[in-house]
Amino acid sequence: MALSPHRNPVMAAVFKQEAHKLIDTLPETATWDDLAEKARFLAAVERGIDAADRGEFASPERIRAMFAKWGVDVEA
């Protein structure tokens, strides 16, 4: 679980630095929606990395079942 930047001054400073970096990577024509989408994507990636660091991986069987549900033949 990520720490809230509102409860920790150091985290707040890091959060602001990361937000500035994110904004700097967007094109000049970016919209608020573009910013929100990129922020949500990066947050999801961070959550995934945190889960992987905790050893929370999906089993090969679960992955096969997920792909099968989507109609993808994983054996091909």
Helix (H), strand (E) at residue 15: helix 9-25
Q: In whole angstroms, what is the distance from residue 25 CA to residue 65 CA?
A: 37
**Length of the chain as a residue count:** 76
Identity of the amino acid at 9: P
- Mean pLDDT, residues 1-27: 82
Tens digits of residue pLDDT in 29-70: 999 999 999 999 999 999 999 999 999 989 999 999 999 999
- CA 72 from chain centre, in angstroms, equals 24
- CA 27 from chain centre, in angstroms, equals 20
pTM assigned to the model: 0.63
Share of the chain above pLDDT 70, in %: 91
